[in-house]
Amino acid sequence: MKTLNLTLALIVLTLCCFGQKLPLPADKKATKETVILFQSLYELKSKGVMYGHQDDLMYGYTWWYEKDRSDTKEMSGDYPAIAGFELGHIELGSERSLDSVSFSQIAEQIKIHYKRGGIITISWHLNNPLTMQIRDTLTAWPHGTAWDVSSKEVVSSILPGGKLNELFNTWLERLATFFIGLKDEDGHPIPFIFRPFHEHSGSFFWWGTNICTDQEYSALWRYTVTFLRDKKNIHNILYAYNTDRVTSLDQYLRGYPGDDIIDMLSLDMYDRGEQFGRELDTALGFVTREAISRNKLTALSETGERKGMNNWWSSVLLPVVSKYPVGYVLTWRDAYKTKFSVSGNPIQSSPDDFKYFYNSPRTLFLKKVQEADVYKRK
Protein backbone atom coordinates (compact mmCIF):
# COMPACT_ATOMS: atom_id res chain seq x y z
CA MET A 1 0.00 0.00 0.00
CA LYS A 2 2.85 2.32 0.94
CA THR A 3 4.61 1.64 -2.39
CA LEU A 4 1.38 2.33 -4.25
CA ASN A 5 0.94 5.65 -2.46
CA LEU A 6 4.51 6.57 -3.23
CA THR A 7 4.09 5.66 -6.89
CA LEU A 8 0.90 7.71 -7.12
CA ALA A 9 2.60 10.67 -5.45
CA LEU A 10 5.47 10.42 -7.92
CA ILE A 11 3.09 10.32 -10.89
CA VAL A 12 1.24 13.40 -9.62
CA LEU A 13 4.53 15.22 -9.03
CA THR A 14 5.81 14.36 -12.51
CA LEU A 15 2.58 15.55 -14.11
CA CYS A 16 2.68 18.79 -12.13
CA CYS A 17 6.31 19.65 -12.79
CA PHE A 18 7.01 18.24 -16.22
CA GLY A 19 3.65 17.62 -17.83
CA GLN A 20 2.31 21.09 -17.08
CA LYS A 21 1.46 22.93 -20.24
CA LEU A 22 2.53 26.53 -20.62
CA PRO A 23 -0.33 29.04 -20.76
CA LEU A 24 -1.52 30.58 -24.04
CA PRO A 25 -2.19 34.20 -25.06
CA ALA A 26 -5.76 35.52 -24.77
CA ASP A 27 -6.16 35.64 -28.57
CA LYS A 28 -7.07 32.08 -29.58
CA LYS A 29 -5.84 32.80 -33.09
CA ALA A 30 -2.47 34.25 -31.99
CA THR A 31 0.27 33.55 -34.55
CA LYS A 32 2.85 30.86 -33.82
CA GLU A 33 5.54 33.49 -33.09
CA THR A 34 3.19 35.32 -30.72
CA VAL A 35 2.42 32.14 -28.78
CA ILE A 36 6.13 31.32 -28.55
CA LEU A 37 6.93 34.84 -27.36
CA PHE A 38 4.18 34.68 -24.72
CA GLN A 39 5.44 31.34 -23.43
CA SER A 40 9.09 32.42 -23.51
CA LEU A 41 8.25 35.52 -21.50
CA TYR A 42 6.22 33.40 -19.10
CA GLU A 43 9.23 31.19 -18.45
CA LEU A 44 11.83 33.96 -18.46
CA LYS A 45 10.22 35.85 -15.60
CA SER A 46 11.46 33.25 -13.14
CA LYS A 47 15.01 33.54 -14.52
CA GLY A 48 15.54 37.28 -14.13
CA VAL A 49 14.16 40.70 -14.87
CA MET A 50 14.53 42.13 -18.38
CA TYR A 51 15.46 45.75 -18.88
CA GLY A 52 13.53 48.01 -21.23
CA HIS A 53 13.94 51.63 -22.29
CA GLN A 54 11.42 53.86 -24.03
CA ASP A 55 12.49 55.28 -27.41
CA ASP A 56 15.98 53.91 -26.78
CA LEU A 57 16.51 53.28 -30.49
CA MET A 58 15.04 56.58 -31.69
CA TYR A 59 16.97 59.32 -29.85
CA GLY A 60 18.81 60.35 -26.67
CA TYR A 61 19.43 63.68 -24.97
CA THR A 62 22.11 64.67 -27.46
CA TRP A 63 21.33 62.67 -30.62
CA TRP A 64 18.46 62.07 -32.99
CA TYR A 65 17.96 58.86 -34.95
CA GLU A 66 21.46 57.62 -35.67
CA LYS A 67 22.14 54.18 -37.05
CA ASP A 68 22.49 51.49 -34.34
CA ARG A 69 22.72 54.12 -31.61
CA SER A 70 21.23 53.51 -28.17
CA ASP A 71 21.78 55.21 -24.80
CA THR A 72 21.52 51.84 -23.09
CA LYS A 73 24.25 50.43 -25.32
CA GLU A 74 26.44 53.44 -24.69
CA MET A 75 26.18 52.96 -20.94
CA SER A 76 26.31 49.17 -20.70
CA GLY A 77 27.66 47.83 -23.99
CA ASP A 78 24.37 46.07 -24.67
CA TYR A 79 20.95 46.98 -26.07
CA PRO A 80 17.90 46.80 -23.84
CA ALA A 81 15.97 43.53 -23.98
CA ILE A 82 12.75 45.51 -24.43
CA ALA A 83 12.52 48.44 -26.82
CA GLY A 84 9.62 50.80 -26.10
CA PHE A 85 7.91 52.86 -28.84
CA GLU A 86 5.15 55.47 -28.74
CA LEU A 87 2.36 55.88 -31.32
CA GLY A 88 0.55 59.05 -30.13
CA HIS A 89 -0.75 60.94 -33.23
CA ILE A 90 -0.85 57.84 -35.46
CA GLU A 91 -4.62 58.22 -35.04
CA LEU A 92 -4.47 61.61 -36.77
CA GLY A 93 -2.80 60.23 -39.87
CA SER A 94 0.35 62.23 -39.06
CA GLU A 95 3.79 61.26 -40.28
CA ARG A 96 5.35 61.98 -36.90
CA SER A 97 4.39 61.15 -33.33
CA LEU A 98 3.55 63.60 -30.57
CA ASP A 99 7.26 63.41 -29.70
CA SER A 100 8.19 64.29 -33.34
CA VAL A 101 9.41 60.78 -34.11
CA SER A 102 8.79 59.52 -37.65
CA PHE A 103 6.40 56.55 -37.74
CA SER A 104 8.24 54.98 -40.64
CA GLN A 105 11.47 55.12 -38.62
CA ILE A 106 9.65 53.55 -35.67
CA ALA A 107 8.56 50.70 -37.94
CA GLU A 108 12.12 50.34 -39.19
CA GLN A 109 13.54 50.07 -35.65
CA ILE A 110 10.83 47.62 -34.60
CA LYS A 111 11.91 45.36 -37.45
CA ILE A 112 15.59 45.72 -36.56
CA HIS A 113 15.05 45.00 -32.86
CA TYR A 114 12.92 41.99 -33.68
CA LYS A 115 15.61 40.68 -36.01
CA ARG A 116 18.14 41.06 -33.21
CA GLY A 117 15.94 38.84 -31.03
CA GLY A 118 14.70 41.68 -28.82
CA ILE A 119 11.19 42.38 -27.59
CA ILE A 120 8.93 45.27 -28.59
CA THR A 121 6.41 47.19 -26.51
CA ILE A 122 4.15 49.96 -27.80
CA SER A 123 2.31 52.70 -25.91
CA TRP A 124 -0.29 55.10 -27.30
CA HIS A 125 -0.94 58.60 -25.90
CA LEU A 126 -3.84 59.18 -28.28
CA ASN A 127 -5.46 62.59 -28.48
CA ASN A 128 -8.75 63.45 -26.80
CA PRO A 129 -11.25 62.81 -29.63
CA LEU A 130 -13.99 64.90 -28.01
CA THR A 131 -12.29 68.05 -26.80
CA MET A 132 -9.99 68.32 -29.82
CA GLN A 133 -13.12 69.10 -31.86
CA ILE A 134 -13.37 72.40 -30.02
CA ARG A 135 -11.25 74.84 -31.96
CA ASP A 136 -10.54 77.91 -29.92
CA THR A 137 -7.58 80.17 -30.48
CA LEU A 138 -7.26 80.70 -26.75
CA THR A 139 -6.82 77.05 -25.87
CA ALA A 140 -3.44 75.91 -24.58
CA TRP A 141 -1.85 72.57 -23.66
CA PRO A 142 -3.27 70.07 -22.65
CA HIS A 143 -6.31 70.99 -24.75
CA GLY A 144 -7.23 68.12 -27.07
CA THR A 145 -4.35 65.88 -25.94
CA ALA A 146 -4.35 62.58 -24.03
CA TRP A 147 -3.91 64.68 -20.86
CA ASP A 148 -7.07 66.75 -21.46
CA VAL A 149 -9.40 65.58 -18.69
CA SER A 150 -11.84 68.50 -18.97
CA SER A 151 -14.74 66.24 -20.04
CA LYS A 152 -16.04 63.01 -18.56
CA GLU A 153 -17.98 62.16 -21.72
CA VAL A 154 -15.04 61.15 -23.89
CA VAL A 155 -15.14 57.36 -23.55
CA SER A 156 -18.93 57.18 -23.89
CA SER A 157 -18.79 59.43 -26.96
CA ILE A 158 -16.53 57.04 -28.90
CA LEU A 159 -18.17 53.74 -27.98
CA PRO A 160 -21.06 52.37 -30.12
CA GLY A 161 -24.04 54.72 -29.89
CA GLY A 162 -21.75 57.69 -29.15
CA LYS A 163 -21.51 60.61 -31.56
CA LEU A 164 -17.79 60.02 -32.19
CA ASN A 165 -17.87 56.27 -32.71
CA GLU A 166 -17.16 56.65 -36.43
CA LEU A 167 -14.20 58.94 -35.73
CA PHE A 168 -12.79 56.44 -33.25
CA ASN A 169 -13.16 53.68 -35.85
CA THR A 170 -11.08 55.81 -38.24
CA TRP A 171 -8.44 56.16 -35.54
CA LEU A 172 -8.39 52.41 -34.95
CA GLU A 173 -8.16 51.84 -38.72
CA ARG A 174 -5.01 53.99 -38.85
CA LEU A 175 -3.53 52.16 -35.87
CA ALA A 176 -4.36 48.82 -37.51
CA THR A 177 -2.68 49.89 -40.76
CA PHE A 178 0.53 50.62 -38.86
CA PHE A 179 0.32 47.29 -37.04
CA ILE A 180 -0.30 45.35 -40.25
CA GLY A 181 2.89 46.85 -41.69
CA LEU A 182 5.01 45.31 -38.92
CA LYS A 183 6.30 42.26 -40.76
CA ASP A 184 9.67 40.51 -40.83
CA GLU A 185 11.70 39.77 -43.96
CA ASP A 186 9.64 36.67 -44.67
CA GLY A 187 6.39 38.59 -44.41
CA HIS A 188 5.44 37.14 -41.00
CA PRO A 189 3.79 39.56 -38.54
CA ILE A 190 6.15 40.68 -35.76
CA PRO A 191 4.72 39.96 -32.29
CA PHE A 192 4.67 42.84 -29.82
CA ILE A 193 3.22 44.00 -26.50
CA PHE A 194 0.59 46.74 -26.82
CA ARG A 195 -0.20 48.86 -23.73
CA PRO A 196 -2.98 51.33 -24.65
CA PHE A 197 -5.16 53.30 -22.19
CA HIS A 198 -2.41 53.06 -19.61
CA GLU A 199 -2.28 54.20 -15.98
CA HIS A 200 -6.01 53.84 -15.50
CA SER A 201 -5.79 54.21 -11.71
CA GLY A 202 -4.66 57.81 -12.18
CA SER A 203 -6.91 60.61 -13.40
CA PHE A 204 -4.52 62.43 -15.71
CA PHE A 205 -5.60 60.85 -19.02
CA TRP A 206 -9.11 61.03 -20.50
CA TRP A 207 -9.50 57.28 -19.82
CA GLY A 208 -8.44 57.77 -16.15
CA THR A 209 -10.30 56.46 -13.13
CA ASN A 210 -12.30 59.57 -12.22
CA ILE A 211 -12.81 60.62 -15.84
CA CYS A 212 -14.77 57.57 -17.02
CA THR A 213 -16.57 54.76 -15.23
CA ASP A 214 -14.94 51.36 -14.75
CA GLN A 215 -17.58 49.87 -17.07
CA GLU A 216 -16.77 52.39 -19.79
CA TYR A 217 -13.06 51.73 -19.37
CA SER A 218 -13.54 48.01 -19.70
CA ALA A 219 -15.84 48.50 -22.73
CA LEU A 220 -13.23 50.74 -24.37
CA TRP A 221 -10.65 48.00 -24.03
CA ARG A 222 -12.97 45.27 -25.27
CA TYR A 223 -14.05 47.40 -28.22
CA THR A 224 -10.44 48.15 -29.21
CA VAL A 225 -9.25 44.56 -28.94
CA THR A 226 -12.29 43.22 -30.80
CA PHE A 227 -11.68 45.77 -33.56
CA LEU A 228 -8.01 44.88 -34.03
CA ARG A 229 -8.31 41.14 -33.45
CA ASP A 230 -11.64 40.22 -35.04
CA LYS A 231 -12.34 42.98 -37.53
CA LYS A 232 -8.79 43.58 -38.74
CA ASN A 233 -7.58 40.00 -38.18
CA ILE A 234 -4.44 41.09 -36.33
CA HIS A 235 -3.12 38.20 -34.26
CA ASN A 236 0.40 39.24 -33.30
CA ILE A 237 -0.44 41.40 -30.28
CA LEU A 238 0.00 40.66 -26.57
CA TYR A 239 -2.24 43.10 -24.68
CA ALA A 240 -0.96 44.72 -21.47
CA TYR A 241 -3.41 45.99 -18.86
CA ASN A 242 -1.81 48.80 -16.86
CA THR A 243 -2.29 51.08 -13.87
CA ASP A 244 -0.35 53.82 -12.18
CA ARG A 245 0.51 53.45 -8.46
CA VAL A 246 -2.05 51.43 -6.49
CA THR A 247 -2.23 50.25 -2.91
CA SER A 248 -4.57 47.27 -3.22
CA LEU A 249 -5.51 44.53 -5.66
CA ASP A 250 -9.10 45.82 -5.74
CA GLN A 251 -7.87 49.20 -6.85
CA TYR A 252 -5.58 47.57 -9.40
CA LEU A 253 -8.39 45.57 -11.00
CA ARG A 254 -10.95 48.41 -11.29
CA GLY A 255 -12.10 48.35 -14.91
CA TYR A 256 -10.13 45.19 -15.78
CA PRO A 257 -11.52 44.09 -19.16
CA GLY A 258 -11.13 40.33 -18.62
CA ASP A 259 -8.77 37.40 -19.01
CA ASP A 260 -10.07 36.74 -22.55
CA ILE A 261 -8.70 40.17 -23.60
CA ILE A 262 -5.55 40.67 -21.53
CA ASP A 263 -2.14 38.92 -21.64
CA MET A 264 -0.13 40.97 -19.19
CA LEU A 265 -0.81 42.61 -15.83
CA SER A 266 1.52 45.59 -15.69
CA LEU A 267 2.14 48.44 -13.33
CA ASP A 268 3.73 51.90 -13.66
CA MET A 269 5.38 53.45 -10.61
CA TYR A 270 7.93 56.25 -10.50
CA ASP A 271 10.05 56.94 -7.46
CA ARG A 272 8.72 60.08 -5.85
CA GLY A 273 10.39 59.70 -2.45
CA GLU A 274 11.39 57.66 0.60
CA GLN A 275 8.32 55.41 0.72
CA PHE A 276 8.75 54.22 -2.89
CA GLY A 277 10.62 50.98 -2.14
CA ARG A 278 7.98 49.85 0.34
CA GLU A 279 5.05 50.80 -1.90
CA LEU A 280 6.59 49.14 -4.93
CA ASP A 281 7.27 46.00 -2.91
CA THR A 282 3.62 45.77 -1.84
CA ALA A 283 2.21 46.51 -5.30
CA LEU A 284 4.54 44.13 -7.16
CA GLY A 285 3.69 41.48 -4.57
CA PHE A 286 -0.03 41.51 -5.30
CA VAL A 287 0.24 42.20 -9.03
CA THR A 288 2.68 39.35 -9.71
CA ARG A 289 0.70 36.93 -7.51
CA GLU A 290 -2.49 37.80 -9.37
CA ALA A 291 -0.74 37.42 -12.74
CA ILE A 292 0.47 33.95 -11.84
CA SER A 293 -2.97 32.88 -10.63
CA ARG A 294 -4.46 34.07 -13.96
CA ASN A 295 -1.63 32.64 -16.11
CA LYS A 296 -0.65 36.13 -17.32
CA LEU A 297 2.63 37.94 -17.88
CA THR A 298 3.70 40.89 -15.71
CA ALA A 299 5.89 43.99 -15.93
CA LEU A 300 6.89 47.17 -14.18
CA SER A 301 6.19 48.88 -17.48
CA GLU A 302 7.30 52.39 -16.47
CA THR A 303 9.56 53.47 -13.67
CA GLY A 304 12.23 56.07 -12.97
CA GLU A 305 14.73 57.03 -10.33
CA ARG A 306 14.38 59.42 -7.44
CA LYS A 307 15.97 62.72 -8.35
CA GLY A 308 19.35 63.28 -6.76
CA MET A 309 20.14 59.63 -5.90
CA ASN A 310 23.24 58.05 -7.37
CA ASN A 311 22.62 54.46 -6.32
CA TRP A 312 18.93 54.07 -7.18
CA TRP A 313 19.40 51.09 -9.51
CA SER A 314 21.33 48.99 -7.01
CA SER A 315 19.76 50.07 -3.74
CA VAL A 316 16.11 50.74 -4.61
CA LEU A 317 15.06 49.05 -7.85
CA LEU A 318 17.11 45.84 -7.91
CA PRO A 319 16.33 44.61 -4.37
CA VAL A 320 12.57 44.92 -4.92
CA VAL A 321 12.33 43.55 -8.46
CA SER A 322 14.57 40.62 -7.45
CA LYS A 323 11.92 39.45 -5.00
CA TYR A 324 9.19 38.83 -7.58
CA PRO A 325 8.78 37.36 -11.08
CA VAL A 326 8.36 40.87 -12.52
CA GLY A 327 9.06 40.11 -16.20
CA TYR A 328 10.58 43.42 -17.19
CA VAL A 329 11.23 46.94 -15.92
CA LEU A 330 11.23 49.85 -18.35
CA THR A 331 12.54 53.35 -17.76
CA TRP A 332 11.03 56.19 -19.74
CA ARG A 333 12.50 58.21 -22.58
CA ASP A 334 15.61 60.40 -22.58
CA ALA A 335 13.80 63.28 -24.27
CA TYR A 336 15.96 64.94 -26.91
CA LYS A 337 17.53 68.21 -25.75
CA THR A 338 15.08 68.53 -22.88
CA LYS A 339 16.28 68.99 -19.35
CA PHE A 340 12.86 67.90 -18.12
CA SER A 341 12.27 64.19 -18.12
CA VAL A 342 9.79 62.15 -16.16
CA SER A 343 12.44 59.47 -15.90
CA GLY A 344 15.00 61.85 -14.41
CA ASN A 345 17.60 60.82 -16.99
CA PRO A 346 18.42 57.71 -14.98
CA ILE A 347 21.00 56.02 -17.17
CA GLN A 348 23.32 58.97 -17.60
CA SER A 349 22.93 60.39 -14.13
CA SER A 350 24.44 57.37 -12.38
CA PRO A 351 26.51 55.46 -14.95
CA ASP A 352 28.41 53.25 -12.49
CA ASP A 353 25.26 52.24 -10.71
CA PHE A 354 23.55 51.46 -14.01
CA LYS A 355 26.54 49.28 -14.90
CA TYR A 356 26.13 47.47 -11.60
CA PHE A 357 22.48 46.86 -12.50
CA TYR A 358 23.56 45.61 -15.92
CA ASN A 359 26.13 43.21 -14.42
CA SER A 360 23.74 41.76 -11.87
CA PRO A 361 22.98 38.07 -12.53
CA ARG A 362 19.33 39.01 -11.93
CA THR A 363 19.02 41.34 -14.94
CA LEU A 364 18.58 40.43 -18.59
CA PHE A 365 19.59 42.77 -21.39
CA LEU A 366 19.55 41.90 -25.09
CA LYS A 367 22.51 39.49 -25.14
CA LYS A 368 20.96 37.21 -22.53
CA VAL A 369 17.58 37.40 -24.25
CA GLN A 370 19.24 36.45 -27.54
CA GLU A 371 20.63 33.36 -25.78
CA ALA A 372 17.15 32.55 -24.49
CA ASP A 373 15.91 32.81 -28.10
CA VAL A 374 12.40 34.04 -27.26
CA TYR A 375 11.09 33.43 -30.78
CA LYS A 376 12.83 30.03 -31.11
CA ARG A 377 14.10 30.80 -34.59
CA LYS A 378 17.41 28.90 -34.40
Position 333 contacts ligand BMA (CB under 6 A) = yes
Which 8-state DSSP code applies to residue 236? -
Size of the site for ligand BMA (CB under 6 A): 8
**Chain centroid to CA 369: how far?**
17
Residue whose CB is less far from ligand BMA, 199 or 279: 199
Q: Residue 296, interface with ligand BMA (CB under 6 A)?
A: no
Shorter beta-carbon distance to ligand BMA: residue 76 or 127: 127
How far from 249 is each of 111, 134, 267, CA to CA, in Å? 36, 38, 12
Q: How far is the CB of 141 from ligand BMA (least distance, A)?
A: 11
The neighbouring-strand residues paired with 122 are 85, 194
Q: Distance of alpha carbon 19 from its chain centroid, rounded?
A: 30
30 to 69: interface string for ligand BMA, x by CB under 6 A: ----------------------------------------
Output the smallest distance, CB 124 to ligand BMA, in A: 9
Residues numbered 159-198 forming contacts with ligand BMA, rule: CB under 6 A? none
CA distance 227 to 221: 10
Tell me whether the omega of the peptide bond preceding residue 142 falls within 30 degrees of 0, making it cis.
Answer: yes
Q: Do 298 and 264 touch, CB atoms closer than 8 A?
A: yes
Q: Minimum Å distance from CB 370 to ligand BMA? A: 27
Would you count residue 342 as binding ligand BMA (CB under 6 A)?
yes
Q: How many residues does the chain have?
A: 378
For ligand BMA, the closer of residues 38 and 103 by Cβ is 103
According to CB under 6 A, which one of 65, 96, 99, 358 is a site residue for ligand BMA? 99
**316 touches 346 (CB < 8 A):** no
Q: How far is CA 279 from CA 49, 271, 276, 282, 344, in A?
A: 19, 10, 5, 5, 19
Q: Which of 306, 313, 239 is nearest to 269 (CA)?
A: 306
User: Rounded to the nearest whole angstrom, what is the least distance from the CB of residue 97 to ligand BMA in the complex?
Assistant: 7
For ligand BMA, which residue has the nearest CB?
86
Q: Does 96 bind ligand BMA (CB under 6 A)?
A: no
Q: Out of 73, 96, 111, 125, point to the residue binding ligand BMA (CB under 6 A).
A: 125
Nearest one of 189, 144, 166, 118 to 373, comparing CA atoms: 118
Q: Does 86 bind ligand BMA (CB under 6 A)?
A: yes
Closest distance to ligand BMA from the beta carbon of 197 (Å): 14
Nearer to ligand BMA, 99 or 184 (CB): 99
> Nearest distance from residue 84's CB to ligand BMA, in Å?
9
The least distance separating ligand BMA from the CB of residue 267, rounded to whole angstroms, comes to: 15
CB 268 within 8 A of CB 302: yes
Among 25, 80, 88, 346, binds ligand BMA (CB under 6 A): 88
Contact call for residues 272 and 333 (beta carbons, < 8 A)? no
Q: How far apart are CA 256 and CA 346, in angstroms?
A: 31
Give min distance, CB of 297 to ligand BMA, in A: 22
The single residue among 65, 69, 73, 98 that binds ligand BMA, judged by CB under 6 A, is: 98
Residue 199 in contact with ligand BMA, rule: CB under 6 A = no
Tell me how far CA of residue 371 lies from CA of 21, 110, 294, 324, 366, in angstroms: 23, 19, 28, 22, 9
Q: How far is the CB of 264 from ligand BMA (least distance, A)?
A: 19
CA distances from 96 to 46, 181, 185, 326 (A): 38, 16, 24, 32
| Contact positions vs ligand BMA (CB under 6 A) | 86, 88, 98-99, 125, 332-333, 342
